Structure 1
Amino acid sequence: MRVYDMIVDERRRAADLLAGLTVDQLRSPSLCAGWTMHDIAAHLVTFLRFGQAKLYLGIAATGADLDRVNVTLTRWYAKRSTDVLIDQLRRDALSRTTIPRSGYDPVLADIVLHDLDIRRPLGIPRILSEERLWVAYQHLAAKPSPGFALGGRLRGLRLVADDAGWDHGTGAAVRGNAEPLVLAMGGRISALDELTGDGVPVLRERLTSATKMRPAQRLGKVLGVLVSPPPPDRRSRDAVGLG
């Protein structure tokens, strides 16, 4: 399956998932620090609503503080009802907006992470496709786009998904099943309890004591991505290379 088709399917699944939650569940905390389940719905919609303009305007307005951009826009859109957000998520599920110079992979990675952010704390089961987890794993491990691991949280670590046979990087090992591994790579501290290896304390320290980069350093990293050549398969591709 092509990555774009996975994104469309995941947006529709997210809409169905959110539509099935109670008011109390929507107000409960997700695995994404500081966000409720309703906030995640708002965040997913801001990308559909603003697309690449969200990134470029955020760079200009905040000195490339993309966390601040996400928090501000999410807080603004979270004022809307969940029903309105779900409706827009379904209506714009076919959007082809990508991350500049990065293609579709980071879009899918973001949705996969947020699916897990919702389902895991609520105990809602789903067998997430290994193909989709691999796209998220490979993107986070190999070449994160702006907004993912800009502080180098995965530097010098070997990331091993024991159940899937994936292995990336060198150094102290962080290993476990693919779902918690991808969550930890994406900054979810609670997932570290399901992982093993000498690299787990290193990653935990990086996640818990992370400090914001200086504006000039942050801007340089983001611009370095934006001026790099786009991937040849930027629009979409088959998710090949598993294992």
Structure 2
Amino acid sequence: MGIATSRKDTRAEVRQLIAAERRELADLLDGLRAEQWESPSLCGGWRVREVAAHMSMGFRLSLPATLGQLATARGNLHRMTDRVARRDAAAHSGAELAAFLREGAYHPWTPPVGGFPAALGHDVVHGLDITVALGLDRRVPEDRLRVLLDGIRPSGLRFFGVDLSGVRLCAEDLDWSYGSGSAVYGTGQDLLLLAFGRRLPSGRLRGETSGRFTR
């Protein structure tokens, strides 16, 4: 949510980026050790297993099943997604969760707001929730990051509860910045995580106000 595609990025191009991201993340999940599946992610309260289960929920559940789960959660989307992620994480093996993601590479699912750029953001950020928490040095390709970083809007920051007042985000590995004020430096993908409301491990950001965004 909160991501708007730039004019140069067509729907077809973004869908290709989504498919590539899902396939690569599926390959990465296939290589995780048993203990890594049980490790905490950057998503509060979720292990790697729950994040992986959540990533494919949108294209595994039919619309009636989704509406049924939402009704059970009394209309609370966050409660519903948490319940389904925990249920499916317990019901499926790591190999099955990776396969769901790979098989859904071209599925047209999108979040309720934001279209295909938001779907790309969903995949990229949840992938980083896993890799950053596990200390894996996976670099998201620049073309995918560009779509997401260039699409950051105040409405998206509000949705994720991110306060950038008096802060300018400055990527150290890309020609990109956002906001105004005291500079916070980091890689483009770490700044993307920040913009999606994640608190990063200490040492990944620099700048006087960087402590506002780290654990």
What band does the TM-score fall into relative to the shorter chain?
0.7 to 0.9
**Does residue 178 of structure 1 match 2:194?**
no
The amino acid that maps onto 2:93 is S
Structure 1 contact 174–199 (Cα < 8 Å) conserved? yes
**Secondary structure in structure 2 of the residue aligned to 1:78:** helix
5 Å-filtered alignment, 1:187-198, equals 187-191=197-201, 193-198=203-208
5 Å-filtered alignment, 1:179-218, equals 179-191=189-201, 193-203=203-213
Structure 1 contact 31–117 (Cα < 8 Å) conserved? yes
Displacement of 1:176 after TM fit? Answer: 2.1
Structure 1 contact 140–186 (Cα < 8 Å) conserved? no
Work out the CA distance in 1 between the residues paired with 2:174 and 2:63: 33
- RMSD between aligned alpha carbons? 2.9
Name whichever of 16-25 and 81-90 sits farther off.
81-90
Matched-pair identity in %: 34
Residue 168 and residue 86 in structure 1: after superposition, are their counterparts in 2 closer, same or farther (change >3 A)?
same
5 Å-filtered alignment, 1:56-95, equals 58=70, 61-63=73-75, 65-79=76-90, 80-95=92-107
Structure 2 contact 14–117 (Cα < 8 Å) conserved? yes
Work out the CA distance in 1 between the residues paired with 2:118 and 2:70: 17
**Secondary structure in structure 2 of the residue aligned to 1:174:** strand
Displacement of 1:186 after TM fit? Answer: 2.0
Residue 82 and residue 160 in structure 1: after superposition, are their counterparts in 2 closer, same or farther (change >3 A)?
same
Tell me the TM-score normalized by structure 2. 0.78
Q: Which runs of 5+ in 2 are unaligned?
A: 1-8
Paired positions, count: 201
2:177 counterpart residue number = 167
1:114-159 alpha-carbon deviations (Å, 9 max, x no partner): 2222222333333321121222323344542xxx742541342422
Name whichever of 24-33 and 13-22 sits farther off.
24-33
Work out the CA distance in 2 between the residues paired with 1:98 and 1:31: 22
Q: Which runs of 5+ in 1 are unaligned?
A: 209-243
**Does residue 4 of structure 1 match 2:10?**
no
**Secondary structure in structure 1 of the residue aligned to 2:194:** helix
The amino acid that maps onto 1:36 is R
1:63-106 alpha-carbon deviations (Å, 9 max, x no partner): 5x433232111112112222222222222221012223411111
Structure 2 contact 42–133 (Cα < 8 Å) conserved? yes
5 Å-filtered alignment, 1:14-29, equals 14-29=25-40
2:141 to 95, 109, 129: 129
1:115 counterpart residue number = 127
